[in-house]
Structure 1
Amino acid sequence: MDSQKTYTVNEAQKKLESYCAYQERCHKEVRAKLRDMKMIPEAIDVILVHLIQHNYLNEERFAKAFVSGKFRIKKWGKNRLVRELKFRDISKYSIDAALKEIDLEDYIKTLDELTLKRIAQVTEKNSYKKKKKVADYLLYRGWESHLVYEKLSEYIK
């Protein structure tokens, strides 16, 4: 059974190299993976240093990939992106660098499309209730409130 297997530092290092090469990972994920593999803290530190030095692990690169993916695919706003990255213990520097990658025009266009799509889905007749339902949806996805309310007053009279 795999959960009983013990690893040498070298074996764990190789396993984590492919784990990190497969997709971008944050330090927190890698540390958790090593803990699950029953590695001792000293070994975890040695392996983390190796992964960082050999560029398998790069916080800023992870943040940029995360932001670009979640923005494009899940259409998350900046607030949600920041919250999720902070939860993964990503530094403010890396978060800021990743958010700079989002093109402002794309950002506004995405909010626009999301707003119109949601307005079409909400069947509420009362315009205040409709506005609230659409706003709640957009705010939950992490869009900044001033942008959300700007869009809503544009589309719902």
Structure 2
Amino acid sequence: MKQISEKEALNRMAAYCSTTERCIQDIEKKLSSFDLLPETCQRIISRLVQESFINESRYATNFTHDKLQFNKWGRIKIEYEMKKKGIPASIRQKAIEEIDQNLYTEILCTILKNKKKTIKAKDKREEYYKLLRFAASRGFESHEINTCLKGLFKENEYDDME
């Protein structure tokens, strides 16, 4: 890509940030394709933060909401993905704490109920563990998974599996 001016890069990044929430790492990746000096990139990012085009806290809240609602991810996976994006721990923690517990449990139980219909297992124990692994791979905590699985399996069947 050809060299562009700082002002043009700033305008492009402002437009890029206007379409949806972005984190600093997203902007750094995009700016790296413009062949700009590192100091120039930092000035652009500082300006975008100053003018509220980039707000990591707002980004983390929206990211958490979207990944829970649309991707059906659990807290563990959401936090891990935010960590990969370079979101500070305090911001990640605050966003995770804002998750409505009732909604969280409802989403987990719904995906387990739907998955239970499609699982092929030779017995209830195997079915239980397949559901447990499935929910864990989505980033849900084991105590949350066990609570929902207790509801899906009759109590006496559950007691045999512990």
Q: TM-score range by the shorter chain?
A: over 0.9
Partner of 2:36: 39
Using the TM superposition, give the Cα deviation of residue 140 of structure 1 relative to its aligned residue in structure 2, in angstroms.
0.6
Instruction: Note the residue ranges of structure 2 that are not aligned, 5 or more in a row.
Output: 158-162
Percent identity over the alignment is: 27
Q: How far apart in 2 are the matches of 1:69 and 1:153?
A: 27
- Residue 34 of structure 2 aligns to which amino acid in structure 1? M
Of 68, 73, 78, the residue aligned with 2:75 is 78
Q: How far apart in 2 are the matches of 1:31 and 1:129?
A: 46
Using the TM superposition, give the Cα deviation of residue 16 of structure 1 relative to its aligned residue in structure 2, in angstroms.
0.2
Pair 1:54-2:51 in alignment = yes
Pair 1:103-2:82 in alignment = no
Q: How far apart in 2 are the matches of 1:151 and 1:112?
A: 5
Partner of 2:4: 7
Q: Please list every run of at least 4 consecutive aligned residues from structure 1 whose deviation after the TM superposition is greater than 3 angstroms.
A: none
Instruction: Note the residue ranges of structure 1 that are not aligned, 5 or more in a row.
Output: none
- CA RMSD, 1 decimal: 1.1
CA offset digits 1:91-118 (Å, max 9, x no partner): 1111122112211111111111111111
Partner secondary structure for residue 56 of structure 1 = coil
Deviates more, 1:133-142 or 1:146-155: 146-155
CA offset digits 1:69-91 (Å, max 9, x no partner): 11000111000000000000101
Deviates more, 1:25-34 or 1:145-154: 145-154
Partner secondary structure for residue 70 of structure 2 = helix
Using the TM superposition, give the Cα deviation of residue 150 of structure 1 relative to its aligned residue in structure 2, in angstroms.
2.5
Number of residues of Structure 1 aligned to a counterpart in Structure 2: 154
Of 120, 125, 131, the residue aligned with 1:123 is 120
Q: How far apart in 2 are the matches of 1:55 and 1:150?
A: 41
Q: How far apart in 2 are the matches of 1:122 and 1:32?
A: 40
* TM-score calculated relative to the size of structure 2: 0.91
Using the TM superposition, give the Cα deviation of residue 129 of structure 1 relative to its aligned residue in structure 2, in angstroms.
1.3
Partner of 2:160: none
